[in-house]
Structure formats: structure tokens, C-alpha cells
Structure 1
Amino acid sequence: MLRTQFEEDLNKLHDKFYLMGKEVSKAINNSVKAFIDHDKSLAKQVIDRDDSINQKEQDLEKKSFEMIALQQPVTTDLRIIVTIMKASSDLERMGDHAVSIAKSTIRVKGNKRVLEIEQEISEMADEVTKMVDEVLIAYINTDEEKAIEIATSDRKINEYFKSIYRHSIRAMKENAETVVVGADYLQVAGYLERIGDYVTNVCEWIVYIKTGKISELEMKNVTDD
């Protein structure tokens, strides 16, 4: 009976984590769409929805602590609960970066734009969102191999960041009118790059469920904030 209750509680935790992840993925997508389209109303929606993401993380943490205290899980079960707590914290930070992108949108005031760079940012965001969606499925399936594969795709995100950085600096040098928007491009690409790093953290937690070991899957290029 106790075991059945524990498994039921664990399944609920999984479901809540997955739903939180989908909400974060949507926030990232919408924040970049808002930035590219100069859609301040959509940007405001992302900022307003952040409370919901934060609440989901707090609920997951509270329920995880309750399960550890009341049901005293061991080995794999304990690793799963610890992973949910740690990985939901990573999701929450991804949501924070989506908010930062949305805030960049609200700050931008009809400055001169560089469409080629915006196209690159849009492609980078697609790759990042794909990583987030894939890591959620890998998590649900406890798919260690897929998690390792997703972590390696973070290199592509880092390459996008370097390319956007180069192009933005060049645009700012060639045309003083692009200095303000160029700085925004650099910031947004930086936020996306960090989201990629957090996805890699979640990949590491998936591997931890299977192995009990914390592995460094990809060297981080940007220090955590």
C-alpha cells in the first residue's frame, strides 16, 4: 500500500515537472518572438507568466521534501526526487532568462535593426527550444543516451553565440546607429547561451538518476550567474 502511494506521488512529481518544463519552453519561444517582432504585449505576457513558473518550482520542492521526510526513499527513488528538485531549479532559471529577453523587448525603442542578426537569434532560439523540449522527453523516459546526445548539441548553441557576437560587433563598428540594438543582440544571445547551459545541467541530472554519478557533460563557456 505504502509503495503504491509512493509511486503515485512520484508520478505526480514527474507530471508537474514536465508541465513546468513545457511552460518554460513556451516562455523562451515567446520571449524571442516578442524580441524579433518588437511585440511588447507578448513580452509582457512572458513577464507576467513567470510567477506561475516560480510557483511550480516551489510546489515541486515542497512536495519533494515531504516525500523525503515522510517516506524515506533510498537509492534510485531518492536520486529521482533529488533530480526533480535540482532540475526544476535549472528550469526556473531558464524561465528567468526568458523574462530577461522579454524585458529587452520592452526597452528597445525603434532603433535601427540588423535583420540578418535577428534571423540568427531566431535560429539560435529554435535550437535552444528544441533542446528544452528534447530534454523533457529524455527526462520522462530516463534516457541516459539521449541526455548525453542533447548535451553535445550545446556546442551548436555556443557557435551561434560566437557568430552573433562577431556580427553584432561588426555592425556596431560599421554603423553607430546600431550600437544600442547591437548591445541588445549580444545580451539576448547571452541569455540563450545560458539557457543551453542549464539544459546541459538537466542532462547531467538524467545521467545521475541512472548512474548515481554527477558527470560534467559539456564544459561551460559562460560562468553561471
Structure 2
Amino acid sequence: MDITSDSHGKHISQQFNHELDALKTHLLAMGGLVEKQLQDAVTALLEGDSELATRVRDNDKAVNDMQLKIDDECTRVLARRQPAASDLRLVLAVIRATSDLERIGDESSKIARNALSLVENGQSPRGMVEVRHLSQHVRSMVRDALTAFARFDTDLALKVLREDASVDQEYQSAMRSLMTFMMEDARQITPVLNVMWILRALERIGDHADNLAEYVIFLVKGVDVRHTDTHDLKPQDFDKR
């Protein structure tokens, strides 16, 4: 059975309704924190702001704590309520999503650490244009994936999935360019390697946003689209599976 944003909250037990709503609310709060971590990490890098980069690095524990809290809530719901159908899918989707959000937080922390290294060495290497473009792309994917989760919007989730190939192309093009630059100027190897690690972190964040979008489709349609070519997939195709 498909679900919409109004599908939950129909149980006789108001406490159960509250518990399900709380799971979704807390997941989106974690998503908001992770979004800010990503935005601040990229801003710290592009503006050479070591103080901001340090805050991002140190705030990683807050993301981890939120994951543990939400996982504990999910465990209690599973044990006490034994949810079925769309309710079970919601709990499973939240558990999976918190894992990907925690990893986005980890990748944001990596960006911040590499930004600190560059700032401390007074370096502004090649690749900042590529970082800016790729970061804008993956930040949009994360934002859209979380919005899709909030609205149970499979159309928006599909849009996120289709962006992944474009992100991969941007990443590969940027890496080839930086490899060529390093071979031409060996003095730039160390700072450019920092930028390459940042680009790699951004590419992985795109992958995690992709996963979040897949969970939305699983939650709403009950269809697992992992390991599926989603390029030509349309919303109506879900009903044929």
C-alpha cells in the first residue's frame, strides 16, 4: 500500500501516532544538522575560515549522538509496537537514513579537516572552482532528498537519483584535471591532494543522498530500487513490480 504525508497518525493509540511522528521529526532534525555541517564545511574551505572549519570538525559528535538517539527510539517502537506494512517501512527507512546522514556528517568533517590543513599552510590550490560546483550539486541533492522524505514525494526522490550520474561525471572530470596539474607542477602535489580528498568526500555525499532518495521510494511504494537502473524509471513503474 502506498502512503502519503497523511497516511500515518491513523492508529487508535495516540501514543503510537506520536512515536511515529517523532521518528520522522527527529530524522529531519538530524538532516538539518547534517546539511548545516556540509554547508559550513564548504564555506570554511572556500573562505579560508579556520574557526568555522574547527567548529564543523568538533560538531561531528552531535551528529553521532543524534543517530544513537534515533536508533534507540526505533528499537523501542519495534519492540513495543511490532509495526507492520507502511509503519514498519517507516521505521526501517528511518534506521537506514540515519546511517547515511551520519556518514554525510563524517564526510563533512573530512572536508573541514582538509580545509584546516590548507588554511594552516596558507595554501589556495587549484580545484576550488570544481569544489564549488560539485558542492552546490551535492548540497542540492541532500536538500531534495530530505524534502522528499518530509513530503513522501517519490517524484522528487527520482529527481535526486537521476542527478547521481551527473555528479559522478563532474567528479571524474575534476580529478582528471587535477591529476594533470600535479604532473605538470610537482610542488603542488600536497595541496592538490587535499583538494582531491575533498572532491572525493563530496562525491560520497552524493552517493549517500542517492541512498536517502531510495529509502523514500521504499517507504512510500514498498519497492526496493537499490541496485536498479533508475535513469528511465518513472513513478508509474512502481505499480508494475
SS at match of 2:59: helix
Q: Which moved more, 1:34-43 or 1:103-112?
A: 103-112
Alpha-carbon separation, structure 1, partners of 2:228 and 2:65 = 30
Alpha-carbon separation, structure 1, partners of 2:18 and 2:108 = 32
Q: Per-residue deviation at 1:81?
A: 0.5
Q: Is it true that 1:172 corresponds to 2:182 in the alignment?
A: yes
**Residues 198 and 177 from structure 1, CA distance in 2 versus in 1: closer, same or farther, beyond 3 angstroms?**
same
**Residues 131 and 112 from structure 1, CA distance in 2 versus in 1: closer, same or farther, beyond 3 angstroms?**
closer
Query: Which residue number in structure 1 is paired with residue 108 of structure 2?
Result: 98
Partner AA of 2:193 in structure 1: A
**Residues 175 and 218 from structure 1, CA distance in 2 versus in 1: closer, same or farther, beyond 3 angstroms?**
farther
Query: Which residue number in structure 2 is paired with residue 7 of structure 1?
Result: 17
Superposition map of 1:28-47 within 5 A? 28-47=38-57
| Identity, % of aligned positions | 26
**Residues 68 and 195 from structure 1, CA distance in 2 versus in 1: closer, same or farther, beyond 3 angstroms?**
same
Alpha-carbon separation, structure 2, partners of 1:112 and 1:46 = 20
Query: Which residue number in structure 2 is paired with residue 19 of structure 1?
Result: 29
Alpha-carbon separation, structure 2, partners of 1:112 and 1:44 = 18
Partner AA of 1:172 in structure 2: M
Query: Which residue number in structure 2 is paired with residue 206 of structure 1?
Result: 216
Q: Which runs of 5+ in 1 are unaligned?
A: 220-225
User: Is contact 2:114–2:195 with CA below 8 Å preserved after alignment?
Assistant: no
Q: Which moved more, 1:167-176 or 1:66-75?
A: 167-176
Q: Per-residue deviation at 1:37?
A: 2.2
Q: Which moved more, 1:51-60 or 1:104-113?
A: 104-113
TM-score (norm 2): 0.86
Q: Per-residue deviation at 1:215?
A: 1.0
Partner AA of 1:149 in structure 2: K
Query: Which residue number in structure 1 is paired with residue 99 of structure 2?
Result: 89
Corresponding residue to 2:123 among 108, 111, 114: 111
Alpha-carbon separation, structure 1, partners of 2:124 and 2:142 = 31
How many residues end up aligned between the 2 structures? 217
Query: Which residue number in structure 2 is paired with residue 152 of structure 1?
Result: 162
SS at match of 2:152: coil
TM-score (norm 1): 0.91
Query: Which residue number in structure 2 is paired with residue 57 of structure 1?
Result: 67
Q: Per-residue deviation at 1:190?
A: 0.5
Query: Which residue number in structure 1 is paired with residue 144 of structure 2?
Result: 134
- The Cα RMSD (Å) is 1.5
Q: Which runs of 5+ in 2 are unaligned?
A: 1-10, 230-241
Q: Is it true that 1:48 corresponds to 2:58 in the alignment?
A: yes
Alpha-carbon separation, structure 1, partners of 2:135 and 2:67 = 23
Q: Per-residue deviation at 1:118?
A: 0.2
